[in-house]
Amino acid sequence: MPDPVPTDRHHVVVVGAGFGGLQTVHDLAGAPVRITVVDRRNHHLFQPLLYQVATASLATSEIAWPIRHLLRRRREVTTLLATVVGVDTAERRVLLDDGATLTYDTLVIATGARHAYFGHDDWEPFAPGLKTLEDATTIRRRILRAFEQAEREPDPERRRALLTFVVIGGGPTGVELAGTIAELARLTLVDDFRNFDARTTRVILIEAGPRVLPAFTEDLSRYAQRALEKLGVEVRLGQPVTDCTAAGVACGDEWIAASTMVWAAGVQASPAAEWVGVATDRAGRALVEPDLTVPGHPEIFIIGDAATIAGPDGQPVPGIAPAAKQQGQHVAAEIRARLAGKGSGKPFRYRHAGSLATIGKRKAVIDFGRFKLRGAIAWWIWGLAHIYFLIGVRNRLSVALSWLWNYMRDQRGSRLITQGATASASDPRPPQGTSG
Catalytic residues: 176
Write out the binding residues for ligand FAD, residues 3-62 only, by CB under 6 A.
15-21, 38-41, 47-48, 50-51
Q: How near is the Cβ of 158 to ligand FAD at its closest, in Å?
A: 30
Contact status: 84 vs ligand FAD (CB under 6 A): yes
Write out the binding residues for ligand FAD, residues 141-180 only, by CB under 6 A.
172-173
Contact status: 112 vs ligand FAD (CB under 6 A): yes
Write out the binding residues for ligand FAD, residues 282-321 only, by CB under 6 A.
304-306, 319-321
Contact status: 225 vs ligand FAD (CB under 6 A): no
Contact status: 207 vs ligand FAD (CB under 6 A): no
Residue 99's contacts (CB-CB under 8 Å, 6 or more residues apart) are: none
Q: How near is the Cβ of 220 to ligand FAD at its closest, in Å?
A: 15
Q: How near is the Cβ of 287 to ligand FAD at its closest, in Å?
A: 16
Q: How near is the Cβ of 343 to ligand FAD at its closest, in Å?
A: 27
Q: How near is the Cβ of 34 to ligand FAD at its closest, in Å?
A: 19
Q: How near is the Cβ of 248 to ligand FAD at its closest, in Å?
A: 23
x/- site string to ligand FAD, residues 386 to 415, per CB under 6 A? ------------------------------
Q: List, as own/partner pairs, every contact residues 289-295 make where C-beta atoms lie below 8 angstroms and the sequence separation is at least 24, other chains included.
A: 290/347, 290/348, 291/330, 291/334, 291/344, 291/345, 291/346, 291/347, 291/348, 292/327, 292/330, 292/331, 292/334, 292/348
**Position among 110, 204, 228, 359 found at the interface with ligand FAD (CB under 6 A):** 110
Q: Cβ closer to ligand FAD: 38 or 251?
A: 38
**Position among 61, 78, 83, 101 found at the interface with ligand FAD (CB under 6 A):** 83
Q: How far is CA 393 from CA 23, 62, 431, in A?
A: 19, 11, 33
Q: Cβ closer to ligand FAD: 150 or 356?
A: 356
Q: Which stretch binds ligand FAD (CB under 6 A): 105-113, 244-252, 290-298, 335-343?
A: 105-113
Q: Cβ closer to ligand FAD: 161 or 301?
A: 301
Q: Cβ closer to ligand FAD: 241 or 320?
A: 320
Q: Across the strands, what pairs with 250?
A: 243, 255
Instruction: Please count the residues of this chain forming the interface with ligand FAD, following the rule CB under 6 A.
Output: 33
| Residues in contact with ligand FAD by the rule CB under 6 A | 15-21, 38-41, 47-48, 50-51, 83-84, 110-112, 130-131, 172-173, 270, 304-306, 319-322, 324
